[in-house]
Amino acid sequence: MTIETTIKSFHDSIRSAAASLKNYEREMDEKQHAIHTCIQNIPSTPPAIKKGETALVKSCNEIITQHSKAVRNWKQTIEKYISGKQFVNRFEKSLLVIVFADVKAGKSSLGNFISGYSYQNTKHGDLYTKPICYVYDYTEKNKDSGTEKVLKEGHFIEDEIQATASIQYFTLLDGLTWVDTPGIHSLTSEYEDLAKEYIKYADLILFLTPSNNPLKMDEAQEIKKLIQCDKPLLVTITKSDTGSVIFDENNNRRTILRPKSDENRKLQEDYVKDEIERFGGNNIVSQNEYISISTKLANNAMEQNDEELFKQSNMPDFFEQIGTVISEKAVALKMKRPLDEFNFVVRELLDGNKQSDFIGIKKLKENMETILADIETQEKKLDALTETIMLQAKGILSNSLYQSLSTEKSKGTLSEKEHLSELVNDLVNQTLSSVISEEIGNNIANFQTMNINQSRAIIEVDFEKKKKQIEYEIQEGKERLRDPRGIIEHIQHFFGKEFHEFSIRTKIKTREIETGDNFNEFFQIIYESLQTEMKRIVMEQIDKAKGEYYGNLKQIIDTLCKEINTAIFELEGLMY
């Protein structure tokens, strides 16, 4: 089953390559659509930023303008580029073998064997897949000259004269395109550009040299040129057969086609090998094997279903060599150019193009992050003012509070807590309004003075006068009758005289006296209790200032930056 196995295996390889190429093409079409969608999803008209004269506001407005212009450019560029772009062009939709040879080297007949046309009416005709054959023909000088046309014959033209004037090709099973060029001396300027395109995208250049005069001088010169194309090159010796005359039983003379001897084939193959090595052909597909084939023997083998004759034609080995370009590795190499070009498109969107003043998405993101960093720096400066404002405010409040409380003391109203709370809150509000406005104003050019009516200080401490219990002595005197003393007083007492005496008694008493008041302690408690309230107000006002002067800027730029970052993530994910 050499014939069927060889061709079926060849076809299976082509189908596998075709499927892989189709997958690449479909994937790239999907990615192309994804690029378009990704760019279209970026808003080109961001929210407006309020007018202002600060450097930061101006920078934000400049980045908004830059963003709008950049997105418009991206959308226009990608619309224009992708709408008319085929990342996988017609030469890359299948693996490409381009055949060069001089006239009478058997190019067209080999092509017809590869397509299956030459054995369609044999037992193996079911292996013929009927590929459509096309031709670029310049023989007729009319308006259609040089255009691609379907070959009405349905196969390559093997007439030597006509075949030298056209480029013929077919695509087998969507995976392998076989291109039959004019004879190397017939490659006129009319075909030159087209031939260069085929060579540019070729996966294999097949050079055929006939066995009756292999690698003659003009062919050698042509191979040297093809070697310089830096493409895989396979040199095959064709028409490796000979006719033997025999007479049948009726003595009729017949010619039987036989393969050239193994010795003869080896001599020719070694000669070609040595010559190629002398040319410096290091990119020849097979460094050690140059195959001699006979298309006529192969055709006879198909007609006669002769497995041995098919082997003698060397077609199994030839198919195996051609199969070196029908592999996953070959497909990957084939797709390198479109993949690289696809990556180039994505990379240009990401990185921009200095020559065309085309700003890339990453650069725009970088500029936005710079603005966000500037906003964060300004916010940190405001946050850092908390301690400065507190330090100044405490000094001012300490004096004004002491004076106010002293005045209230003299009025005797320090015990009226509600009144004192109102007084203290007013002092806090006035002090902080002044200090905050001045300090924040030094950082924000167009800052408006703040009026703070947020203090919620409550007086909890009681004002008290200080008293002390003291002890003291008092003396009380009292006159009372006394008994007479001595003889005389007794005589006098007898006659009615009374005698008196005065006695003094010392008594201990206590009383409460005022020794001062708790004013200093009262003031200190109130003053210290205000620190937490003051810090709360300062932090709230700083947050308010950040929100009012930077919040809108930060929100808009941050939103744009996130959208841009999403686009970067999506685009980088599309790259190969």
Residue 255: predicted pLDDT: 78
Out of 174-178, 332-336, 487-491, 552-556, the most confident range is: 174-178
Q: Of the ranges 73-82, 305-314, 446-455, which one carries the lowest mean pLDDT score?
A: 446-455
Residue 452: predicted pLDDT: 73
Residue 460: predicted pLDDT: 80
Q: Which of 176, 225, 174, 224 is nearest to 196 (CA)?
A: 225
Residue 306: predicted pLDDT: 95
Question: Which position has the higher pLDDT, 298 or 518?
Answer: 298
Contacts of residue 551, defined as CB under 8 A and 6 or more positions apart, other chains included, come to none
Residue 226 has pLDDT above 90, yes or no: no
Residue 285 has pLDDT above 70, yes or no: no
d(CA 545, CA 533): 18
CA torsion, ordered 208, 232, 91, 151, to nearest 10 deg: 10
Question: Which position has the higher pLDDT, 328 or 390?
Answer: 390
Residue 318: predicted pLDDT: 96
d(CA 174, CA 179): 14
Average confidence (pLDDT) over 482-492:
79
The two three-digit tokens of residue 120, written as one number: 């369609």
Average confidence (pLDDT) over 392-409:
93
Out of 185-194, 308-317, 322-331, 479-488, the most confident range is: 308-317
Task: Kindly report the number of other CB atoms within 10 A of residue 554's CB atom.
Answer: 19
Residue 198: predicted pLDDT: 85
Q: Quick one: DSSP state of residue 432?
A: H
* Residues in a beta bridge with 210: 238
57 confidence band (pLDDT: 50, 70, 90): confident
Q: Are 232 and 205 in contact (CB under 8 A)?
A: yes
Residue 487 has pLDDT above 50, yes or no: yes
H/E stretch holding 553 reads helix 552-574
Contacts of residue 155, defined as CB under 8 A and 6 or more positions apart, other chains included, come to 112, 115, 117, 118, 133
Average pLDDT of the chain is: 86
Average confidence (pLDDT) over 58-86:
86
Residue 564 has pLDDT above 80, yes or no: yes
Average confidence (pLDDT) over 8-27:
95
244 confidence band (pLDDT: 50, 70, 90): confident
Q: Are 567 and 361 in contact (CB under 8 A)?
A: yes
Task: Report the percentage of the chain scoring pLDDT > 70.
Answer: 89
Contacts of residue 65, defined as CB under 8 A and 6 or more positions apart, other chains included, come to none
Residue 88: predicted pLDDT: 87
Q: Are 404 and 421 in contact (CB under 8 A)?
A: no
Q: Are strands 499-517 and 465-482 parallel, antiparallel or unpaired?
A: antiparallel
Tokens 């101006």 -> residue: 58
Residue 520 has pLDDT above 70, yes or no: yes
227 confidence band (pLDDT: 50, 70, 90): confident
d(CA 547, CA 438): 18
51 confidence band (pLDDT: 50, 70, 90): low
The two three-digit tokens of residue 197, written as one number: 């395109």
Average confidence (pLDDT) over 138-159:
72
Average confidence (pLDDT) over 409-416:
88
Q: Which of 218, 200, 201 is nearest to 209 (CA)?
A: 218
235 confidence band (pLDDT: 50, 70, 90): very high
Q: Are 231 and 98 in contact (CB under 8 A)?
A: no
Residue 142: predicted pLDDT: 47
C-alpha count within 13 angstroms, C-beta hemisphere, residue 518: 14
Average confidence (pLDDT) over 161-175:
79
Q: What is the pLDDT of residues 88-106, one digit of tens each?
A: 888 999 999 999 988 888 9
Residue 159 has pLDDT above 70, yes or no: no
Residue 185: predicted pLDDT: 58
Main-chain dihedrals φ then ψ at residue 241, nearest 5 degrees = -150, 170
Residue 548 has pLDDT above 80, yes or no: yes
516 confidence band (pLDDT: 50, 70, 90): low
The two three-digit tokens of residue 122, written as one number: 């044999």
Task: Kindly report the number of other CB atoms within 10 A of residue 257's CB atom.
Answer: 15
Residue 468: predicted pLDDT: 64
Q: Which of 366, 367, 364, 348 is nearest to 356 (CA)?
A: 348
Residue 301 has pLDDT above 80, yes or no: yes
